Amino acid sequence: MATGFYYDERCMWHSQGEHALYLPVGGCVEPPSNPIHVENGFTKRRFRNLVEVSGLMARLEVASAPPALRADLERVHPASYLDRFKALSDAGGGDMGEDARFSPGGYEIAALAAGLVIRGVADVMSGAVANAYVLTRPPGHHCLPGKGMGFCLLANIPVALEALRARLGPVRVAVVDWDVHHGNGTEAIYYDRDDTLTISLHQEACYPIDSGRAGDRGRGPGEGFNLNVPLLPGGGHRAYLDAMEVLVVPALRAFRPDLIVVASGLDASGVDPLARMLAHSDTFREMTRILMAEAGTLCGGRLVAAHEGGYSELYVPFCGLAIMEELAGHRTGVEDPLLASLVGNQPAADMAAFQRARLEAQARDVFG
């Protein structure tokens, strides 16, 4: 079986209007030379294009999908939120929360993004593809049931998981979020549940600045099923691999999921404008390799990655290609032009040791 790659050009047409990085243009913010929101279609389209010109696309099962149905969305989002979103979309666009703007047709594009994740999850669970990457936007991991946040308008992964459960019944799912920002929306949706293990690796206090604490472990039936791994700014490659070894892998083995889903933000890279980590393409390659091995042992290889953030037009494609090469089991020969520089700028050994000691202390609290 091949790796699935899910994409629809219409998702790239989602717009948040003129911005300077992510600040609305106007008032005291002078328009920059390129007044476009940092969350735009270029990074994702360039990712897709590199997969194609590298030759890897020919080895993939490439598909689109229909939009998520209203019934799919209502399993996660209240009708009042969806009604308001649809009405604003039809009226020319608007804002669904904190940094959650959209242009005309935003509702339909967001529903398409969620639909792509629904299909990717369904195809992996059915065995139609071996594993999958869903390259879509707008992202979803910050979206709360009744409020958009952080460029996210619908909770794409939870919508897909609840659609899966509506068809198949109970399914144990682990969501591993390696976006550099805390996956607060996914956490909130599953905070009281024990059928979904939510794990978020993120730069500490980056966004949202008041969430993602290591002590937030779930509530009621969900206690112990939420794991936040806040990493120090600048932790780099070693911090992510240590976090996988010390916390993520043991948590997955204890939970024993039927499916692993990755919230795949590529904004932990050393050149991303919205964070201060120092990951590089081999960081994402190695994390993918680790999760593929765990999926192979725990759940028949069932692994789906759904795209989230990542804001460097230059570097997102190389990080994404590294993930795709691992999923597909084929190296294309494309060289990452920034890899040597980022490897050379990794933190000193004493900082790496300090970060690992923090992770090991957290692991003692989590696992005893």
The residues annotated as belonging to the active site are 142
- What are 211's two structure tokens? 């969430």
- The contacts found for 337-344 with CB under 8 angstroms, 24 or more apart, are 338/270, 338/271, 338/280, 338/281, 338/314, 339/280, 339/281, 339/282, 342/269, 342/270, 342/271, 342/278, 342/279, 342/280, 343/237, 343/280, 343/282
- The single-letter code of the amino acid at 163 is A
Please give the Cα distance from 14 to 156 (Å, whole number).
15
User: Using alpha carbons only, what angle is made at residue 84 by residues 79 and 89, rounded to the nearest 5 degrees?
Assistant: 125
